[in-house]
């Protein structure tokens, strides 16, 4: 099955470069390009791609607001691709609903792998980004996840669906959902990616793979 990708970046050269990098992959098709966040939101609704490669800093509606709008509308997965790796940028993107965070200096092979993984539901973080989250040393007081909740979140980070997690842990899908909801409540989040990244930031979960 071909993955349909929309790119969003205010620099034409970057968009052309991304198209060229992905063109050689038989299972990836760049179906559209957006030059700002507002256009990205519009094209995500119109073209209904599987994934949006989203720059963070663009004129007008930035990548964070565009990501928030796309995910709020039940749109495609968003993979942030940016030159910025500050803690605040990373957390803003994740809190907006981004599936992952990749840097523009990533090798082509890493970009392609990230596109496939994020489209499949995995949480994708560049190594340096994962280290930043793990190094934040947020206080863990008041946050205690059970061993089963940690097991479930670990498998979420690997890109497994609820049904796949249930089969791996020999529990029902409804039980998986219950563990996730409990983890969400304890971490103060409301989606899978935010749960994984927040647990990592608080030192409760290791970086995926």
DSSP notation for 195-207: HHHHHHHTTSSPP
Does the pTM surpass 0.95? The reply is no
The answer to whether position 208 is within a domain reads: no
Residue at a domain's end among 108, 133, 158: 133
Same domain, 129 and 152: no
Using DSSP, state whether 209 is helix, strand or coil.
Answer: coil
- Range with the poorest average pLDDT among 45-54, 58-67, 184-193: 184-193
Domain that holds residue 166: 147-201
Same domain, 195 and 111: no
pLDDT higher than 70, residue 13:
yes
Rounded distance, CA 56 to CA 81, Å? 7
Instruction: Look over the chain and give the mean of its residue pLDDT values, rounded to a whole number.
Output: 86
The answer to whether position 142 is within a domain reads: no
Same domain, 115 and 165: no
Question: How confident is the model over 146-156, as a mean pLDDT?
Answer: 91
Out of 30-34, 82-86, 103-107, give the one with best mean pLDDT. Answer: 30-34
- The number of folded domains in the chain is 2
The enclosing domain of 162 has a CATH number of: 1.10.10.10
Same domain, 127 and 159: no
Pairing of strands 3-8, 51-54: parallel
Q: In the sheet where 100-103 sits, what is the strand order?
A: 28-34, 3-8, 51-54, 77-82, 100-103, 124-125
Confidence of residue 83 (pLDDT cuts 50, 70, 90): confident
| Predicted pLDDT of residue 137 | 45
| Predicted pLDDT of residue 134 | 54
The answer to whether position 66 is within a domain reads: yes
From residue 53, alpha-carbon distances to 41, 101, 187 in Å are 12, 10, 27
């Amino acid at each position: 099955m071909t993955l349909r990708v929309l790119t969003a970046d205010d620099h034409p050269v970057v968009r052309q470069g991304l198209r060229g990098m992905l063109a050689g992959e038989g299972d990836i098709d760049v179906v559209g390009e957006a030059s700002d966040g507002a256009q990205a939101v519009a094209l995500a609704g119109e073209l209904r791609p599987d994934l949006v490669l989203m720059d963070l800093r663009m004129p007008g509606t930035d990548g964070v607001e565009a990501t928030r709008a796309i995910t709020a509308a039940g749109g495609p997965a968003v993979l942030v691709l940016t030159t910025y790796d500050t803690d605040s940028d990373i957390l803003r993107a994740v809190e907006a609903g981004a599936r992952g965070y990749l840097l523009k200096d990533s090798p082509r092979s890493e970009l392609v792998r990230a596109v496939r993984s994020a489209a499949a539901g995995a949480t994708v973080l560049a190594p340096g980004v994962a280290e930043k989250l793990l190094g934040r040393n947020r206080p863990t007081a008041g946050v205690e996840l059970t061993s089963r909740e940690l097991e479930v979140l670990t498998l979420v980070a690997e890109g497994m669906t609820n049904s796949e997690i249930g089969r791996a842990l020999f529990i029902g899908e409804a039980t998986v959902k219950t563990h996730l909801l409990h983890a969400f409540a304890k971490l103060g989040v409301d989606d899978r990616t935010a749960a994984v990244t927040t647990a990592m930031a608080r030192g409760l979960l290791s970086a995926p793979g």
